[in-house]
Structure 1
Amino acid sequence: MLIKEMNSHPKNLSRIVETSGTITSPLVPWNTCGAYMYGALGVNPFAYLPYAFFNLIALLLSVIYGLTGITMSEWNGGNEESEEAVN
């Protein structure tokens, strides 16, 4: 399902991808971030998992925002920048 079919602004998709992909990638041992930290530093990602507050809280807040609709912008089908310039 496309994000525009859900009447959701594309910037919501950008924020979701950023939270789920970039911020949580150090927590996945077989990902490039987790593998690099394990290879270079010798620290298993599960060892620093309890201390990765930002990574865990950001993911939790993203789920809460999605379920409640807080900070989720609706898409009106047009280009907002051109509409703001007219107003």
Structure 2
Amino acid sequence: MTERSPKRSFATRPANPESWIKASDTPSARGSADGGYTARLTIDVTSELRGRIKIAAFQRGVTVAEMLRDLLAREFSSTEGDPS
């Protein structure tokens, strides 16, 4: 059997999670509304849940992305003393 390459593979866990998280902080092509950095996040959801999310966003008069960004910002707000 052949020996594995010493280079990091796609699923290799980082030695230092903090530096790994901050390493992806590069300016995106679109940028964010506040001129900061953005990062793409991909999740798998069922077709049924995707439909409910789209309906909720439509009823609120916002895009799915805007609604989910707000939801995530509320859930993971940066607070005083938060290490992030």
Q: If the length of structure 2 is used for normalisation, what is the TM-score?
A: 0.25
Q: If the length of structure 1 is used for normalisation, what is the TM-score?
A: 0.25
Greater helix proportion: 1
**Greater RCO between the two (CA within 8 Å, min separation 6)?**
1
